[in-house]
Amino acid sequence: MNIEQLDYYLPPELIAQHPAEVRSGSRLLVFDRSGGELVDSRFERIGDFLRSGDCLVLNNTKVLAARFFGRRLTGGKIEGLFLAAVGDLWEVMLKGARKVKTGETICLTDRRKVDFCRAEVVEKRDEGVCQLRVEGGEDFEGILDEIGFAPLPPYIKRTDDADSASADMLRYQTVYAEKYGAVAAPTAGLHFTEELIGRLRDAGVCLAYVTLHVGMGTFKPVTAETLEEHEMHSERFEIDEENADIINAAAEKGGRIVAVGTTSVRTLETVAADRRVRAGMGATDLFIRPGYEFGIVDAMVTNFHLPKSTLIALVGAFGGLDNILRAYDYAIKGGYRFYSYGDAMLIL
């Protein structure tokens, strides 16, 4: 499939720069695949479109405060993104990495712009990825708690302002986030509140949790001419026996398996066979694109995705690409807000 088939035009003003004032106050576009109907609603009313016995599957990964700032000893400013760590060696992505030299020492600064710790540039790799040896770097979560900012995607404009950082670290995190490891949020889950989850439970909707640690590959553009030529990124996932049993029991009783977000979809489809899921953990590079046959997912909650991306390929595989592009055109004309902090879609 040619990547141009995944393209659409989005007016820049529809790229949400801030979340809705209340999480569940965002808009919800409901698309019924059986009849092609589009319905405007609000996320707080998602229960109107679910049934007792349905199972919502949520990704409980927790976003690290992965964006950080620092300075070169020569005075130049550094901006980076934490990707992973082994001991005190951090794998990071640095803006303007070509200016930094192997063996150079840089200072990482806290949110008050005060020097916090030093790091040595050990290795430089392609696409701005570097390896740093960080003082006390074994405690990467503790250090990032002091120096880090929410790893917002580049289309959301932010500075290194501490007040904005605090607000974003609250809202760029689901209310059920539990397991640290993501460097990007599973954004479809950002719309849920604890109160809404409680109402859904009371209505007979069951909840199950999977973990997929969202990586920077989520935002990697497709540069190949066709989807078949694109190398899909890999992400770590886990689903335990308890949650696999919840999902399987719901499916056996005729409940719909409703994946919240593309990350939940990828996890479920990675471990699905014969209308069941199996517990397990590992890495998945499953690339879901038009033509894929789904094994367990019956419905999907998702945000609106970037054109020419693997994510729009996934939702196009689920809802039918022509239908999804028609829904996107409807949403654009209706003034829906797009991308990570934007509104949501329910595909039934």
Are 210 and 317 part of one and the same domain?
yes
Tokens of 247: 């999902």
Asked whether the beta carbons of 288 and 266 are under 8 A apart, the reply is: yes
DSSP H helical ranges for the chain:
140-147, 162-171, 194-202, 241-252, 262-270, 310-319, 321-333
Tokens of 99: 């200016």
- Residues 6 or more apart in contact with residue 15 via CB below 8 angstroms: 155, 156, 337, 338, 339, 342
Residue 163 domain flag: no
CATH number for 108: 2.40.10.240
98 pLDDT more than 90: no
Are 108 and 35 part of one and the same domain?
no
Q: Nearest Cα to 341, choosing from 221, 170, 179?
A: 170
The partner residues of 273 in beta bridges, in order of sequence, read: 276
pLDDT category at 219 given cuts 50, 70, 90 is low
Residue 237 domain flag: yes
Residue 159 domain flag: no
Q: Which residue has the higher pLDDT, 75 or 287?
A: 287
Enclosing domain of residue 134:
67-148
Are 193 and 338 part of one and the same domain?
yes
How many domains is the chain built from?
2
Instruction: Report the pLDDT value the prediction gives residue 211, as an integer from 0 to 100.
Output: 98
Quote the CA–CA distance of 27 and 261 in Å, as a whole number.
16
CATH number for 35: 3.40.1780.10
Regarding pTM above 0.85, the answer is yes
Q: Which residue has the higher pLDDT, 274 or 216?
A: 274
Asked whether the beta carbons of 64 and 47 are under 8 A apart, the reply is: no
Residue 272 domain flag: yes
Instruction: Report the pLDDT value the prediction gives residue 273, as an integer from 0 to 100.
Output: 94
Quote the CA–CA distance of 210 and 264 in Å, as a whole number.
7
220 pLDDT more than 80: no
Are 59 and 134 part of one and the same domain?
no
128 pLDDT more than 90: no
Are 50 and 185 part of one and the same domain?
yes
Residue 158 domain flag: no
